[in-house]
Structure 1
Amino acid sequence: MDRTFVMIKPDGVQRGIIGAVISRLEAKGLKLVAANLTMISEEKVMEHYAEHVAKPFFPSLKEYIMSGPVVAMVWEGKGSVAIVRKLVGATNPADAAPGTIRGDMAMETGKNVIHASDSDESAAREIAIHFANAEFVAYARLDEPALYE
């Protein structure tokens, strides 16, 4: 099954919208298989955002992402990376369509509530940074065909 990494950023946690974000992903039919409420370490920030380290915005991104707790999650579902990206919306909330998480819940690019993997390769890399295999939970959703066979 396809997996993707999603992180509710400090502004989403601090605003109390964890449940609203998770509800949208569950309602779409994705299955949560790992989750962790945590303060992200500097080591993980450096690894997670490695492609941005030399960019001018990185110091403020690093400070922000370490400023409060995040909810790191792994979601399963066919085509999960593309599905989650559509649900999340454009990086800049001003460009995000109404009905998307950022379009409905975020106001500025620097604090846009959520991170989602942008490719299968990124998802695999980000999942490995934040979760060990032992942290995944296998279960069947009530709407999964296997339960009805």
Structure 2
Amino acid sequence: MADKQRSLVLIKPDAVRREIAGTIISVYEDNGLKIVAMKMMKLDREFAEEHYAEHKGKSFFENLIRTITSSELIAMVLEGEDAIERIRALNGKSDPAKAAEGTIRNRFALNGTENSVHASDCPVSAEREIAHWFPELK
């Protein structure tokens, strides 16, 4: 039997600005994932740096922080059977040029940084990210 899991998903500022958030949310819901929590917010630098702490010091870090804090985003917790693996498959590879046809990033991403969505990559990350973004769910 498959594991019921939760994952953090962000609909990044580039997708919110282009008014495609509803379309992206529908992809998740149409694939049997349930929204457990959702909010729209604009990140400050401190919150963004905490979220992306594992990338601090890497060449793309400043661009990543600038992009994620540029305007509002939507943060969600999605739940379902094998949710983490399923969401990552629906999203596609971070680089839209390498993302499989029909995935969210293949369809909507502008480039490797403005790639429309973020999702937890493993159960440990999901737990950490959900606690950071939705502390009320503890």
Unaligned runs of at least 5 residues, structure 2: none
Between the aligned partners of 1:104 and 1:60, the Cα distance in structure 2 is 22
Q: Does 1:90 align with 2:93?
A: yes
Matches within 5 A, 1:48-127: 48-127=51-130
- Structure 2 counterpart of 1:30, from 22, 28, 33: 33
Between the aligned partners of 1:18 and 1:55, the Cα distance in structure 2 is 29
The alpha carbon displacement at 1:132 in A equals 2.1
Amino acid at match of 2:6: R
Unaligned runs of at least 5 residues, structure 1: 137-149
In the alignment of these two chains, the number of paired residues is 135
- Superposition TM-score, scaled by structure 2 size: 0.94
The alpha carbon displacement at 1:41 in A equals 2.1
Larger Rg computed on CA atoms: 1
- Superposition TM-score, scaled by structure 1 size: 0.87
The question of whether the paired residues in 2 share the 8 Å contact of 1:94 and 1:107 is answered with no
Between the aligned partners of 1:133 and 1:3, the Cα distance in structure 2 is 15
CA offsets 1:77-130 (integer angstroms, 9 cap, x no match): 011000000000001000011110001111310210000111111111111110
Between the aligned partners of 2:46 and 2:39, the Cα distance in structure 1 is 17
Between the aligned partners of 2:116 and 2:10, the Cα distance in structure 1 is 9
Between the aligned partners of 1:123 and 1:91, the Cα distance in structure 2 is 17
Q: Note the aligned Cα RMSD (angstroms).
A: 1.2
Moved >6 Å (runs of 4+): none
